[in-house]
Structure 1
C-alpha cells in the first residue's frame, strides 16, 4: 500500500468510527464532507514519513496518529471558515461546510472531529500505552493553548501581533505535531524533531500568505485576499512579495538541514524537497 492510500484508509476507518451507532444523519454526512476529498494530506504524510524514517515498528499506532492529526486539521478548517472568523464561502473547491450544512452543524462537526481524534488515539493505546499517552499529550499541546492552533486564532484578536508566535501557533503547531508524533509513534524521542516541524510550518505559512496575495480564488479553491481584507499579519505585508519568497526559500533549506540523524534520513529529505516544490506558488517561482 502506498503512503497516500495508507493515510486515506486510516482516515476512512476513523470517520467510520465517528459515524457508528445511530448518529444524526446530517451530522454524520458532514463528517465525510469535512474530511473528503482530503486535499494533499500534507500533515499526516509528514508524520508517516518521519515514522517510516525512524523504523515504523508500530504501524497501527502510526496510522492512528496520522488520522488523529488530520482530523484536528480538518476541524480547524471547518471552524476557520465560520462567519465569526474568515466567513469563507468555499473550501477545497466546494461550498464551505457552514454554507452546505448551516452554522450549528459546522460548529458540531468541528467539535466532533476534534473529539474523534483523541478517541482514535485512545483506542490505539493497546499497541503501546506509553507512546499513545505521549501522542495524546503532543496533539493536545499543539491544538490548544498556549502555543497550539487555538492560540494562533487568538492572535488575530490582539491589537499587536507577534508575527513569529502567530505563525508558529496558527500553522506551525500542527507541523511540529506531525514530526514529533511520527517520531513518538516509532519509539523515538520527540524533542529532536521540533526544529524540522517548526521550519516546515513556517514555510507553509509564508507560502499560504503568498498564495493569498498572488493567486486567484478559482485556482486556489477558496477566497483570496483574506489577509488584507481582515487586516491580518502576514509575511507579504511585512516583507513584500520578493522578501516573502526569499524567506520561504531560506526556511525550506533550513528545514532539510535540520532533519535529525535516523535510518531513513535520505528518503525523508527527499520527501521534504518534494513538498517544498509543491508549496511554492507558480506565480512567484521565478523569484525563488
Structure 2
C-alpha cells in the first residue's frame, strides 16, 4: 500500500469511498459466485440469488472503507484488508436483510430496491441472512485474509463480539423491547443513557469493529489500538445520531428507504432525548471526538479524519 498521504478533501474522500466500494463490490461478487468453494457441496440457485440481492449493488461500503483505511496506516496488504473489510460488510448486509423482515422493522425497500423478503420470500430472506453471516466468518478465518492464525483468530473474535449478544444483535433486541414488541411489554421512553447504550450496540459496535479489525490486521501496538478504538466508538455514535436526524429531515428518495419511522414506532433516539438541535450538536461533538482520537497519528490518518466528518455531514 502507498505511504503517500491521501487527498482528504471532501472530493478526495468521495473518490476514495467510490474506489473502495468498487473493489469491495468486485470481491463480494466473486465470493458470491455460483461456483462452490472448496469444502462446499453445492450453492442452491435461489439462495445464492437472494444473498446477492442483499449484498450487491448498493451502499456506501463505509465499514470496509474504514477497515482498509485503518490498515493503510500500517502498510498492510491491500488484498488482505479488502477481504477483512468484505467480511465486515457481509455481516452488515446480513443484519439489513434480517432487520427488514416483518418480524423486525418490516421494511419494503432498501437502497431503492425491494428488500430481500419482498423480492423473494421470508424463508429465503432468513436463509440468505444466515448464509451471509456464516460466509463472513469463513472469509475472515481463511488464510488468504492473513497468513498468521493468531491474527485471524483476533479478527474473528473482534467481529464476533461486535455482531453478537453484546453488540449488534443485543442492540436490536433492546430496540425491539423499547418498542414494546413482546407480550405484556408497555413501551416506555428510554433514558438518555439507555439510548446511548442501545445505539452503541446496534450500530456503533460494528462500525467500531471495522476500525479495530484494520488496526489488528496492520499490527497496531496497544497505544495505537486504543486510540483507534476510541475513534471507532465516537465515529459509530456520530453516525447513528446522523442517521436519526436523516430519518426526520431526509426524503425517502434521498435515503432509498422509508423515513419518519422512528417516532412512529416509539424508537429511542437522541432526538427524543435532546431535541433536534441538541442532537445535531451531539452529532458534531462526537465527530470532533473521533477526530481528536487520531491526534497521535500524522497526515496519513487524514482520510480517517475526513470519514469522521463525513459520518456527521452525510445526506444519505
Q: Compute the displacement of 1:202 (Å).
A: 0.6
The residue number in structure 2 matching 1:13 is 30
Of 286, 289, 302 in structure 2, the residue corresponding to residue 266 of structure 1 is: 302
Q: Compute the displacement of 1:134 (Å).
A: 0.5
Q: Compute the displacement of 1:18 (Å).
A: 8.2
Of 72, 75, 97 in structure 1, the residue corresponding to residue 91 of structure 2 is: 72
Task: Count the aligned residue pairs.
Answer: 278
What are the superposed Cα offsets for residues 175-195 of structure 1, whole Å, 9 maximum, x if unpaired? 110110010111114333211
What are the superposed Cα offsets for residues 231-260 of structure 1, whole Å, 9 maximum, x if unpaired? 110111111111111111111111111126
| Runs of 4+ residues over 4 Å off in structure 1 | 17-21, 158-161
Of 163, 169, 174 in structure 2, the residue corresponding to residue 155 of structure 1 is: 174
**RMSD across aligned C-alpha pairs, in angstroms?**
2.1
Whether 1:243 aligns to 2:263 is: no
Of 36, 52, 55 in structure 1, the residue corresponding to residue 72 of structure 2 is: 52
Look up the SS of the partner of 2:33 in the other structure: helix
Q: Which stretch shows the higher mean deviation, 86-95 or 160-169?
A: 160-169
User: Given that residues 53 and 267 in structure 1 are in contact (C-alpha distance below 8 angstroms), is that contact kept between their aligned partners in structure 2?
Assistant: no
User: Given that residues 199 and 240 in structure 2 are in contact (C-alpha distance below 8 angstroms), is that contact kept between their aligned partners in structure 1?
Assistant: yes
TM norm structure 1: 0.89
User: Given that residues 242 and 312 in structure 2 are in contact (C-alpha distance below 8 angstroms), is that contact kept between their aligned partners in structure 1?
Assistant: no
Distance 1:240 1:274, change over 3 A: closer
Q: C-alpha distance in 1, partners of 2:253/2:122?
A: 24
Of 199, 214, 231 in structure 1, the residue corresponding to residue 266 of structure 2 is: 231
The residue number in structure 2 matching 1:168 is 200
Look up the SS of the partner of 2:294 in the other structure: coil
Look up the SS of the partner of 1:135 in the other structure: helix
Q: C-alpha distance in 2, partners of 1:123/1:232?
A: 39
Q: C-alpha distance in 1, partners of 2:258/2:126?
A: 20
Q: Compute the displacement of 1:43 (Å).
A: 0.8
Q: C-alpha distance in 2, partners of 1:109/1:244?
A: 35
Of 161, 165, 174 in structure 2, the residue corresponding to residue 141 of structure 1 is: 161
Q: C-alpha distance in 2, partners of 1:248/1:188?
A: 28
The residue number in structure 1 matching 2:229 is 194
What are the superposed Cα offsets for residues 215-274 of structure 1, whole Å, 9 maximum, x if unpaired? 222222111121112111011111111111111111111111112634622343234334
The residue number in structure 1 matching 2:51 is 31
Q: C-alpha distance in 2, partners of 1:72/1:221?
A: 20
Q: C-alpha distance in 1, partners of 2:93/2:135?
A: 12
Q: C-alpha distance in 2, partners of 1:177/1:143?
A: 9
The residue number in structure 2 matching 1:221 is 256
Whichever structure has more helix as a proportion of its residues is 1
Look up the SS of the partner of 1:16 in the other structure: coil
User: Given that residues 53 and 268 in structure 1 are in contact (C-alpha distance below 8 angstroms), is that contact kept between their aligned partners in structure 2?
Assistant: no
Q: C-alpha distance in 2, partners of 1:78/1:185?
A: 28
User: Given that residues 149 and 169 in structure 1 are in contact (C-alpha distance below 8 angstroms), is that contact kept between their aligned partners in structure 2?
Assistant: yes
Distance 1:14 1:111, change over 3 A: same
